[in-house]
Structure 1
């Protein structure tokens, strides 16, 4: 499968479809780095709109970058979401609790909020 890592932007979504991609991974970095609730809400809405458009364009919707044990909860509510790419926060948590527990904790967050 061809997957492209893109910003939650309509032009990038349409270009991904035109280029023959089957999946897009929506970049969640701006959401993850939001400094206040207004910015967080605006970035989340960009992701929602992008996920809807990607689905309309027949693209599988994935998301990732900067996700952690707190901000992943809301991201799980994105429409048409198939996959999350979360690495750094899980590995960081694993230093303290072990990889099995770190993965299990994230799985529980995803299951509970999907």
Structure 2
């Protein structure tokens, strides 16, 4: 079964735009789980422009499903994750000034660094995942780091699918097949939406989790949060 993890960064962005605490990210996370979400994802960045480090701490006692914290493993991020001890940490090589994540790891070039980081998290019983492009060499490189899972970076698929190019799924399917052979768990995320999620899920063998934020929140403006979460769950289980 493919789990739906709701990324709540955009809720924090909305809150921060007014300087108060509306909407409250903890309340939203609790409601998302009540509506059926099977995980909560956050991606705190050093400038705390959306999710703040304190949010990560505040969410810990309230997330009773899967708790996934994403980010670049700089010292402050690593210390936060080791303190909070979420279910999973997803390592993303985003630059400090990146608007959003835009590339996966070069798992070959950064192997030694990733090995050390992953080992530190796993020693605290935190499942690890590496954000990667759908490239077979990078999947093999991910295996060599000792990570538990990979997260396929799906922006390329989403863009091409919107243009009618369903063949864009091919490198993702091939990467998933190799990951399965290597014993790596498979997650996916970035620009997945109600329009493209079902086709993606049906072509990725043993897809364990999808993390969806921007599209889900945007769709909820028109359709309602509870309804949208149920629509995703229906497509993921079809």
Give the TM-score of the pair, scaled to structure 1: 0.89
The equivalent of 1:107 in structure 2 is 233
Change in Cα spacing, 1:93 to 1:36, as seen in structure 2 (3 Å) is closer
Q: Distance in 2 between matches of 1:9 and 1:69?
A: 25
Write the deviation string for residues 20-43 of structure 1: whole angstroms up to 9, x where unpaired: 111001111111011644x431x2
SS of the residue 2:237 aligns to:
helix
Q: Runs of 5+ in structure 1 lacking a partner?
A: none
Write the deviation string for residues 66-109 of structure 1: whole angstroms up to 9, x where unpaired: 11111111111111211111111111111223211111111111
Q: Match for 2:196 among 65, 71, 91? A: 71
Residue-pair matches, total: 110
SS of the residue 2:208 aligns to:
strand
Give the alignment's Cα RMSD to 1 decimal. 1.3
Q: Runs of 5+ in structure 2 lacking a partner?
A: 1-126
Q: Distance in 1 between matches of 2:178 and 2:223?
A: 39
Q: Does 1:80 align with 2:206?
A: yes
Q: Distance in 2 between matches of 1:101 and 1:36?
A: 26
Structure with the higher helix share, 1 or 2 = 1
The ranges of structure 1 where at least 4 consecutive aligned residues each deviate by more than 2 angstroms after the TM superposition are none
Give the TM-score of the pair, scaled to structure 2: 0.44
Q: Distance in 2 between matches of 1:36 and 1:91?
A: 22
Residue 2 (structure 1) shift: 1.0
The equivalent of 1:96 in structure 2 is 222
In the TM superposition, 1:9-88 aligns within 5 A as 9-34=135-160, 36-37=163-164, 39-41=165-167, 43-77=168-202, 78-88=204-214
